[in-house]
């Protein structure tokens, strides 16, 4: 009986930790996220994505947004916004995408609380369109956070 109870506890722990990773990011709409970022003076991470059927989106969901460490960093240090490119965009979403030349493709942006693109120490835009290695992404999030604090 103790073994069964132990297995149940282990199973529930694994399920809940997976659930946290999969559902741990509370994504905001562009409007709500921008308002929250201005109020809290926090940087934004904006993901223009297609979701199902998009290999980049599937990799980002599994490898990045499914990683508990990354979920925690995003929720602690950023206001996360997800813009679904499979649906009609609002005028504000379209304008933001056009501003950073998204061309109706997947794009990940890092913005300050006023909606301006953050730059790394070399002055490069902090944005990219493809998937990344989770370990590299953690260091990238740390760099973005440091870049934002200097603004």
Tell whether the model's pLDDT for residue 67 goes beyond 60. yes
Give the residue, 131 or 64, on which the prediction is more confident: 64
CA 3/CA 111 separation, integer angstroms: 50
Q: Which residue has the higher pLDDT, 140 or 68?
A: 68
pLDDT in tens, 5-33: 333 333 444 443 333 444 689 999 999 99
Predicted pLDDT of residue 100: 84
Q: Where are the beta strands (DSSP E) in 74-140?
A: 79-84, 107-111, 127-128
pLDDT at 22: 47
**Token representation of residue 87:** 């649906």
Give the pLDDT confidence score for residue 81 in this predicted structure: 97
What is the spatial distance between Cα 43 and Cα 79, in angstroms, rounded to a whole number?
Answer: 6
For residues 49-59, give the mean pLDDT.
Answer: 86
Evaluate if residue 127 carries a pLDDT over 70: no
Listed in order, strand segments (DSSP E) in 75-116 are 79-84, 107-111
| 100 vs 73, residue with greater confidence | 73
Total-model pTM? 0.77
Q: Is the dihedral of CA 125, 129, 132, 138 positive or negative?
A: positive
Task: Identify whether the C-beta of residue 77 lies closer than 8 Å to the C-beta of residue 42.
Answer: yes
Mean pLDDT of all residues in 65-69: 94
- On the question of pLDDT at 115 being above 70, the answer is yes
Q: What's the rounded mean pLDDT across residues 57-70?
A: 91
Q: 36-51: per-residue pLDDT in tens?
A: 999 999 999 999 998 8
The per-residue pLDDT for 24 is: 87
């Amino acid at each position: 009986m103790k073994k069964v109870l132990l297995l149940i506890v282990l199973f529930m722990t694994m399920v809940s930790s997976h659930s946290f990773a999969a559902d741990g990011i509370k994504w905001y709409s562009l409007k709500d996220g921008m308002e929250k970022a201005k109020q809290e003076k926090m940087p934004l991470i904006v993901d223009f994505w297609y979701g199902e059927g998009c290999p980049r989106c599937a990799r980002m969901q599994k490898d990045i947004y499914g990683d508990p460490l990354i979920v925690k960093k995003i929720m602690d240090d950023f206001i996360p916004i997800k813009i679904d490119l499979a649906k009609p965009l609002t005028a504000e979403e379209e304008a933001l995408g056009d501003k950073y030349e998204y061309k109706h493709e997947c794009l990940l942006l890092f913005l300050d609380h006023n909606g301006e693109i953050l730059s790394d120490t070399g002055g490069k835009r902090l944005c990219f369109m493809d998937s990344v290695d989770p370990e590299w992404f953690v260091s990238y999030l740390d760099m973005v956070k440091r870049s934002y604090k200097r603004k």
